[in-house]
Structure 1
Amino acid sequence: MKPTVVATTMAKRGFFAPALPHRLARQLTSMRTWGFGLAGELRQAAARSPKSVAVVDDDRRLTYAELVAESDAVTSVLSARGIGPGDRIGLLARNHVGTVSAILGANALGADLVLLNTGLGADALAHLVTEQDLRLLVHDDEFSSLVGDLGVGRLSERDLARELHLLGPVPGPPPPVEAGRTVILTSGTTGMPRAATRRTPGGLGPMVSMLDRIPLNNRDRVLVSAPLFHTWGYAALQLGLGVRATLVLQRRFDPVAAHTALVRYRCHAMFAVPILIERMLAAADAGDLPRPPELRVVAVSGSSLSTGFAPRFMDRYGEVLYSLYGSTEASWICIADPRQLRRDPATAGTPPLGTRVEILDADLAPVRDGVTGRIFVGNDLVFEGYSDGGGVTSHEGMIATGDLGHRAGGLFYVDGRGDDMVVSGGENVHPAAVQRIIEESPEVREVCVTGVPDAEFGQRLAAFVVLEEEASLSGEDVRALVRSRLARHAVPRDVHFVEALPRNAAGKVLARELVAPDA
């Protein structure tokens, strides 16, 4: 990325706002000394704005200077437990101040940190502890019974707080010789989650890519509702520290509490996964809640937006919605801004600076506009590979996302997962296309369309539908809706009405848990 682009974007976002000379000098020194990972971002922010509030939750708030002191103390506690650079520890925690301190403390030590999904079951957790060779598991108190006896060192939230209190102020650690790596789990919607190792940024380029498209400004107040163990919540932490923001955290998402926090803290931005803001919009409409006065950005990622949701949300909250299409493996791929979402709510948008996206056929040749193909992406933060040694298909510096999509009118679209495609009687069907049509019905709250085994045709489509209250839609109504828009082989033979769709802690539908009510 050209230095002029970096400088222009950072200046536009207030990174180079006037400051006392000694603080500016300390900020630049911190970046040179600690690099561009989380530990470096924290220290440059503390050098420039030590008294600004860095993070706040329902119980505590820390300034940037206090956050450095607490994260340094966490580093000391980890060291006393025998953890050193390159050792691997797990973190099982919700969004709160202590989680941020633990992440930053491990990063400053040079330890590898595995961010564990708070929705993991006991078997999946035990599997990951062994697979990742964890030496220590740091966890919230609520997970004490889940953690049990896993043959690994444990440090509970309560024990960590006690050790930090007894320790008191500590000298800051030296920068690690090699930065620790962050390992983030894939969603595991169809099977066991896989651990993907993230690259440490080598400069300001990745942050500039985001800030060029998502207008997060210096010292904004940001509600982070996306889980910090999720790629998008972790990205919010990275971006927030980079622009010296105040990060507002809540342990559990509640739609009314989230809206209230936007108003109470006069938040400028919110990071969430789509299902959360869908619930917040419903609660705001039902309670006729006031519009947050300073909200400029609601940035979502993790799954596609429901059909027609984007314009309804912006009618209520203003032109503030930014939808990022990304993955654990590729970080970001495309961003749809409010103007693009108004033009077509189904679009994934366009790639940000420094990202290359291609739609390729089975022979890895580019396809024409409007033709569905495999999505390939390349950028500075493409993952280093799965921790189990596996990888993904690569081509000319890009990796396959596993998704199918197309390009039309200068915009990109995601048509579904490659492994979700259903072959029924020799015909290829993309469940996502069927799902979008069913979602258009005002009587449908949410829906998941998936393939199920069929003795005659190999596979057939099944739709699992959650209706709005007092809706009277029938299975034949759903089939007629699809039949009016798509070919006969795309009509779901099975339509099941369910009370809710099973979701993981990051809000993604768990297709593997969908079972017909009469099965």
Structure 2
Amino acid sequence: TAIVDVDDPQQEEITFADAEYCTTVLANSLLDRGAQPGTTVGLLGRNSRAYAETIVAVSRTGADLVYLNTGSSAEQVAAVCAAHDITMLIRDREFADLCPDTVLTLGLDDPAGIPLLDCMPWSGDVSAPRQASKHVILTSGTTGGPLRGAARTTAPLDSVAALLNTFPTKVGGVTLLAAPLFHAWGWMHHRLASVLDSTQVLLRHSDPERILALAQAYEVDTIITVPVTLKRLVDLPEDTKRRYDFSSVRCVAVSGSAIPGDLATQFMDDFGDVLYNLYGTTEAAYATIATPEDLREDPHTAGRPMPGVRIEVLDRKGRAVPKGKDGRVYVRSRTSISEYMADGTRGSIKGMVPTGDIGCIDEDGRLTIKGRADDVVVTGGENVHPAEVEEVLRLHPGIDDVAVTGRPDPVYGSVLVAHVVPADDHLTDDELLDWARRNLGPHHRPREVRRVAELPRNATGKVLRRVLAGEVTIDELDEEDLL
């Protein structure tokens, strides 16, 4: 079996032969409608059989493919289409209202507009295109360009080979993809599973109990997801966790945002030492990996560099900082992308790609990510990383989740604001502020508490701090902020 689309009403399992036939039919359909080398196709949808087959079909035409974020507004979709010269947009039914009139629209899962998956007749094999299709994954970089994308023609083989030396995934296995395929993290593992002839179980929405049920039903050995899903799994009732057989799972791999607090330890205590934390960028693919052993020693670590990858932590002047000291994280590897689509690369130093993250390297060579460089709050002349404050606040039993932002202040320049998801109704603001005074240094203490029902997050679980701070609404965010 090549693909299991668990959200398909028929729960259909697609063989490799079926997938080959369907992608050939789709490629011919796209060629008939103008897809060819030199043109650009956009793809807007959730994980599904149709989405995965469309990736392959577009590749076979030689057209470039831009992956759009499912959290985008109509304005954001139009801006990406314009910036990347998209002339054909393939989308799920639920996103029909987001498509601009300036592009040809094809339906992934319905006959609205021009149908794509409508049992089109076989029209012969597809010749190899004269040039390879580029896959453009929009990045979440720090240089300010709202429409940047990193272009790849294939999954980087150096990264794949290095990963397989550490990662217990296997040829012909079963991979549950509970991370979005439009993001580099999900896309890379979709490509990896294809290379390994693995069965891909595709999940549109990441429901924790459903993940356990699917792992048991399909004897999944690898789960690809994001850190926020770990918390949802840990928070399941104990009888729910015990209801499912998780023994086939050899690897739960997460990426996209930092693992908060002692969540890694809690997860492994509940589900076994199968957790792997990978850190990377759209531009440089996999950079570091933390094994279960690493995470037992340090639950916050992003791990050690992959073979062929160089990590440096530099100050603002591009000088290396001492071990254990914070600085800006730069990555260089044989798979680094040194130019972006739609605008240029800025901020690289000696061929090293800026990740936009603040971090440090310990004496054992392990990287820890402290947060985004643009999240730092300067209060009273001191640089404060919100993640450091959040780690302490999460220790309070009355807090279920928390994020820290800054707000302008006439005396300190900025002060910290704690956006709290309470665990119950008993926690008062005064109690929390008093607790913070006793457990945090003067510059790290929040001066205000704001209660929220949930934290706004993007597709990979990163908190949307600008939305929390009231600087923008979700609809006003740039496309890259949603990644």
Report the TM-score when normalising by structure 2. 0.90
SS in 1 for 2:308: coil
Aligned 1:292-441 pairs, distance under 5 A: 292-410=246-364, 411-441=366-396
Distance 1:505 1:418 in 2: 20
Among 100, 103, 115, the residue aligned to 1:152: 103
Aligned 1:196-275 pairs, distance under 5 A: 196-201=149-154, 204-275=157-228
SS in 2 for 1:266: coil
Change (3 A) 1:355 1:461: same
Distance 1:192 1:499 in 2: 31
Among 455, 460, 463, the residue aligned to 2:410: 455
On the 8 A contact 1:83/1:111 being kept in 2, the answer is: yes
Partner deviation per Cα, 1:459-501 (whole Å, 9 max, x = no partner): 1111101122x36333344334444444201111111121111
Distance 2:298 2:436 in 1: 20
Partner deviation per Cα, 1:340-385 (whole Å, 9 max, x = no partner): 1111101111111111101112222221111111111012332343
1:473 partnered with 2:473: no
Amino acid at match of 1:409: E
On the 8 A contact 2:376/2:385 being kept in 1, the answer is: yes
Q: What RMSD, in angstroms, separates the aligned Cα atoms of the two structures?
A: 2.3
How many percent identity over aligned positions?
37
Amino acid at match of 2:205: R
Which is richer in helix?
1
Among 487, 491, 494, the residue aligned to 2:448: 494
Change (3 A) 1:188 1:199: closer
Distance 1:135 1:189 in 2: 28
On the 8 A contact 2:155/2:188 being kept in 1, the answer is: no
In structure 2, the partner of 1:511 is 465
In structure 2, the partner of 1:48 is none
On the 8 A contact 1:327/1:401 being kept in 2, the answer is: yes
Per-residue deviation, 1:154: 0.3
Per-residue deviation, 1:449: 0.8
Change (3 A) 1:191 1:203: closer
On the 8 A contact 1:221/1:247 being kept in 2, the answer is: yes
Distance 1:188 1:352 in 2: 21
On the 8 A contact 1:89/1:136 being kept in 2, the answer is: yes
For structure 2, the residue ranges without an aligned partner over 5 or more in a row are: 471-483
Distance 1:66 1:151 in 2: 34
SS in 2 for 1:493: strand
Partner deviation per Cα, 1:279-335 (whole Å, 9 max, x = no partner): 133235363432412011100111111211011111111111111122223322211
Which piece of structure 1 moves more, 229-238 or 421-430?
421-430
Distance 2:146 2:428 in 1: 35
Distance 1:286 1:444 in 2: 24
In structure 1, the partner of 2:147 is 194
Amino acid at match of 2:201: V
For structure 1, the residue ranges without an aligned partner over 5 or more in a row are: 1-51
In structure 1, the partner of 2:135 is 182
In the TM superposition, structure 1's runs of 4+ consecutive aligned residues that sit over 4 Å from their partners are 160-166, 187-193
Amino acid at match of 1:152: V
